[in-house]
Structure 1
Amino acid sequence: MEHTCIRKAMRRWQPWEVEVRRRPGGGGGGGGGGGCRCESGKRDIKGMCFLDMAAPFFSTPFQPYVYQSPQDAVIPFQILGGEAQVVQIMLKPQEKVIARPGSMCFMSGSIEMENVFLPENEVGVWHWLFGKSVTSIILRNSGTSEGYVGVAAPSLARILPIDMAMFGGELLCQPDAFLCSVNDVKVTDTAYHRVRNVTTSVEGFLRQKLSGQGLAFILGGGSVVQKNLEVGEVLSVDISCILAMTTTIDVQIKYNGPVRRTVFGGDNLVTATLTGPGMVFIQSLPFQRLSQRIAR
């Protein structure tokens, strides 16, 4: 089965910015079909092409969308599904995946799972007060041959592969955006160490900070839009719709009028004015907005 990729009118694209079309006469089913017909290109953060991160691979009635890393990737992976996705990561002997608790979906027989406490310098008293987990799970391939791990999103969300080296080694995210990582990725909840940040700084809203040079997977609700801001370019975004952004972006927090307007009028209370340079990922359906709609 053969496919073609249609690039969007954007400077860079990711799996969430790709349409897959079936060519006339293509066969059905199966995971062995032909790959993506686009040419791969690696660029810097100014004009990046994420084709080397994940590209359309094949589809079946049970897995309508499958995105796969290139064959020469250091850490091969596949992202399966549409709205509630699963990432399958291939692990060589002694390689490991660090994931959030409760996210493991399936694994091969050579994988061992261990629940460990987070380092003391990454855990504050506010973790306990806010009911946040102070543990993570380690999925390690203890066998002598390759194994695999399936890590699933805990809600209706898309899984985004992030090569930290392409973003300067740092990324600010919404709380609980982190799903799992391979190799050198450190996750820090910034606001829980300094309570004054909760209302006065962008770290009060984007409380999760990823740092390192490894491969991370984060979760975005609804559709995810990627914006690459040039120097001095300004973008206003609802604060809850900011999924992640680079630390080079300047952020100004704006409160939209009195609280009663938000409570009775349904207006967004807080918006963020972003000034480039840098990259921002915007989610159309934050989990808070979905939960509020369900509660009505």
Structure 2
Amino acid sequence: MEYEITGGSFPTVVCKLQKGETMKDESGAMAFMTSDIKMETNTGGGLLKGLGRALSGDTIFLNFFTAESDNQKIAFSACYPGKIIPIRLNGNNTIIGEKNAFLAAEESVDIDIYFKKSLGVGLFSGEGFILQKFTGTGMLFLEIDGEVIEHDLQPGEHLLVNQGHVAAMEESVTFDVERVKGAKNMIFGGEGLFFTKLTGPGKVWIQTMPVSKLAEAIIPYIPTSKD
């Protein structure tokens, strides 16, 4: 499978498939496909598997697209302004993504739910208790809100991230929360009460404009009806 990411701030990944190759996506992500691609919708592993993905923010059903001849093309578009990041899974690396991060992947990539073990992390990290877990082999495409910053954490190195800005990370990265220090900082700083604390080793992907913050920025400009 070959691919090209295009579209700038409104990105699309265009995949070129040879006969027998299959891509899968979350419901509604496909933008266009050529005529010799067969589509099939199912839970991708049974009802429980589908329900698990629904808990992590995706749909119960996945769409599978299989090329029935060579050189077929299919494109998947992000839901929000941002970036599409390609990650190659080799069977040894595991990626943990935020809810709704999944855009599309090769059929050999497995999608599952990932539970945070700490009550405090689930309540105060801004990411919730349930994330997405990606394993297997093949190309994985994640959609990121805004721009993306990649950071390689060394063993024991810490990174404090504001709520909602953690897009994805390698499973080797430890995920925790840390309270903002200082009463004035907590009350007047505007950064919330807790930071997400990431500890290496491993790579993390930080998104610059979580859709929740984008919504907050737009709300004051939305006209309201007056009695």
Report TM bin, short chain. Answer: 0.7 to 0.9
Secondary structure of the structure 1 residue equivalent to 2:135: strand
What is aligned with 1:72? Answer: none
- Deviation at residue 132 of structure 1 after TM alignment: 4.8
**AA in 2 matched with 1:182:** E
- Deviation at residue 263 of structure 1 after TM alignment: 9.8
| Residue of structure 2 aligned with 1:109, choices 27, 35, 41 | 35
What is aligned with 1:154? Answer: 79
- Deviation at residue 229 of structure 1 after TM alignment: 0.9
Matches within 5 A, 1:23-34: none
Per-residue Cα deviation, 1:251-282 (whole angstroms, up to 9, x for no partner): 2212448xxx9899743343112221111111
- Deviation at residue 237 of structure 1 after TM alignment: 1.0
- Deviation at residue 201 of structure 1 after TM alignment: 8.2
- Residue pair 2:53, 2:113 contacting (<8 A) in 1 also: no
Percent identity of the aligned residues?
26
- Of Structure 1 and Structure 2, the greater strand share is in 2
RMSD in angstroms over aligned alpha carbons?
3.0
- Deviation at residue 224 of structure 1 after TM alignment: 0.7
- From the superposition, tell whether residues 278 and 152 of structure 1 become closer, same or farther in structure 2 (CA, over 3 Å): same
Q: Please say if 1:278 is aligned against 2:205.
A: no
**AA in 2 matched with 1:230:** Q
Per-residue Cα deviation, 1:41-78 (whole angstroms, up to 9, x for no partner): xxxxxxxxxxxxxxxxxxxxxxxxxxxxxxxxxx2111
- Residue pair 2:50, 2:60 contacting (<8 A) in 1 also: yes
Superposed structure 1 runs of 4+ greater than 3 Å apart: 123-128, 194-198, 200-206, 261-266
Q: Report the number of matched residues.
A: 215
Per mean C-alpha deviation after superposition, the further-off stretch among 261-270 and 280-289 is: 261-270
- Residue pair 1:172, 1:206 contacting (<8 A) in 2 also: no
Q: With the length of structure 2 as denominator, give the TM-score of the two structures.
A: 0.82
Distance 2:127 2:216 in 1: 23
- Residue pair 2:101, 2:143 contacting (<8 A) in 1 also: yes
| Residue of structure 1 aligned with 2:10, choices 84, 88, 96 | 84
Distance 2:65 2:180 in 1: 44
**AA in 2 matched with 1:84:** F
Q: Structure 2: 5+ residue runs without aligned partners?
A: 221-227
- Residue pair 1:190, 1:203 contacting (<8 A) in 2 also: no
Q: Which has the higher contact order (CA 8 A, sep 6+)?
A: 2
Secondary structure of the structure 2 residue equivalent to 1:122: helix
Per-residue Cα deviation, 1:124-177 (whole angstroms, up to 9, x for no partner): 47937x9852111111112x33201011111112110001128x3311111000
Matches within 5 A, 1:1-296: 75-118=1-44, 119-124=46-51, 127=54, 132-142=58-68, 144-165=69-90, 168-191=92-115, 198-199=122-123, 204=128, 207-256=131-180, 266-296=190-220
**AA in 2 matched with 1:154:** C
Q: With the length of structure 1 as denominator, give the TM-score of the two structures.
A: 0.64
What is aligned with 2:223? Answer: none
- Deviation at residue 191 of structure 1 after TM alignment: 4.0
Distance 1:125 1:162 in 2: 22
**AA in 1 matched with 2:100:** D
- Deviation at residue 206 of structure 1 after TM alignment: 6.1
- Deviation at residue 116 of structure 1 after TM alignment: 1.4
- Residue pair 2:58, 2:100 contacting (<8 A) in 1 also: no
- From the superposition, tell whether residues 201 and 213 of structure 1 become closer, same or farther in structure 2 (CA, over 3 Å): farther
Distance 1:279 1:174 in 2: 15
- Residue pair 2:37, 2:72 contacting (<8 A) in 1 also: yes
Per-residue Cα deviation, 1:213-247 (whole angstroms, up to 9, x for no partner): 21100011111111111112111111311111111
